Amino acid sequence: MDLGLNGKRVLVSGGSRGIGRAIVACFLAEGAQVAFCARNHDGVASASTAFGAGAFGAAVDVTDAAQVGAWVQEAAGRMGGIDIVVPNVSALAGGDDLATWRRAFETDLLGTAAMVKAALPLLRASDAAAIVLISSVSGREVDMFAEPYGVLKAALSHYSKTLSARHAGEGIRVNTVSPGNVYFADGVWGDIERNDPATFAGCLAANPMGRMATPQEVARATVFLASPAASFITGTNLLIDGGLTRGVQF
C-alpha cells in the first residue's frame, strides 16, 4: 500500500529515542521530510547522524511554549510548510507529590498543546493535514502508572477527540494511538527489567501475546493514521497493546 507520504512535511517531538525515533525513521522510509526535537543536545546530534538526509533535529524544551513556537516556525520555513504533527514527548512521571504532577502536566499535556497550537495555522494550509497524539493504555485503565501519567494520558485522548471535532471542517484529521507495554533497552521497561526483574516478569506475563511491543510496531500504526491512506479516519483512538486491555470499545 502506498501511504502517500512522499514529500510530506512532518513534525515529531521526542524523536531521538524509543517510539519517537521509530516514528521519525518510519516517516523517512516513506519519503517524508521530518523535523524532530528532543531535550538533550547529544541525543539530537546522535539521532540526526543516524537518520541522515531528510531529518532535521533540534534541542527543544517542550515545557517552554516560546521555544516550541520558534521551533515549529523554523521547521516550517526549512521544509516549506507542515502537513503532519506528532507530539510524542512524555515525562513518564510517577508519584503523588505536586511537583511530579506539575512536571508531568507541563510536559505531557501543555507540551502537546503548545506544539499543536503553534502548528495549526500551518496545517490549515496543507491538503493532507493530520495530527496524531500519543496516549497510552494507562489512560484507559488504572494500572501501576496511573498517577499522574495515566491521568494525563486520558486527558490527551480527550484533547484529541476535541480537536478532531473542532477541526474536521478545516480538513485537519486528529487521531490518537494508545500503546501498551513497549520495550526498548533504554526505555522504562528496560530499566524495570534491570532493576526490578520480579515486576518486569509479572508485567510481561500479563501480555496475552507473550511479549511487549517494539517501538517500530507503534510507529507503523502512528504513521498510517497520519498518512493520506487514512484520509477518512479522524477522532479515533487506536490501541496497540497486543490484547493487554480487556475493555470493549463501543
Q: Which grid coordinates are listed for 70? A: 520558534
Instruction: With cut-offs at 50, 70 and 90, classify the pLDDT of residue 181.
Output: very high
End-to-end C-alpha distance for the chain, whole angstroms: 28
For range 11-36, the mean pLDDT: 98
- Distance (Å, rounded) from C-alpha 26 to C-alpha 112? 21
Work out the mean pLDDT of the chain and round it to a whole number: 97
Burial class (CB in 10 A: 0-12, 13-18, 19+), 52: exposed
Instruction: Residue 77: count other Cβ atoms within 10 Å of its Cβ.
Output: 9
Q: CA-based angle 130:135:136, to the nearest 5? A: 145
Instruction: With cut-offs at 50, 70 and 90, classify the pLDDT of residue 250.
Output: confident
Q: CA-based angle 13:171:33, to the nearest 5? A: 35
Quick one: pLDDT at residue 177?
A: 98
**At 19, is the secondary structure helix, strand, or coil?**
helix
48, pLDDT greater than 90: yes
Instruction: Residue 247: count other Cβ atoms within 10 Å of its Cβ.
Output: 9
Quick one: pLDDT at residue 2?
A: 94
- Distance (Å, rounded) from C-alpha 111 to C-alpha 90? 9
For range 225-250, the mean pLDDT: 95
Asked which of 90-94, 100-104, 177-181 is least confident by mean pLDDT, the reply is: 90-94
Quick one: pLDDT at residue 249?
A: 84
**At 25, is the secondary structure helix, strand, or coil?**
helix
Instruction: With cut-offs at 50, 70 and 90, classify the pLDDT of residue 229.
Output: very high
For range 225-229, the mean pLDDT: 98
- Please state, for a pLDDT cut of 70, what percent of the chain lies above it: 100
Q: Which domains does the chain have, with CATH numbers?
A: 9-183+214-240 (3.40.50.720)
| pTM of the shown model | 0.97
Quick one: pLDDT at residue 94?
A: 87
pLDDT in tens, 119-176: 999 999 999 999 999 999 999 999 998 899 999 999 999 999 999 999 999 999 999 9
Q: Which residues are catalytic?
A: 135-136, 149, 153
- Distance (Å, rounded) from C-alpha 132 to C-alpha 8? 15
State the Rg of the chain over Cα: 17
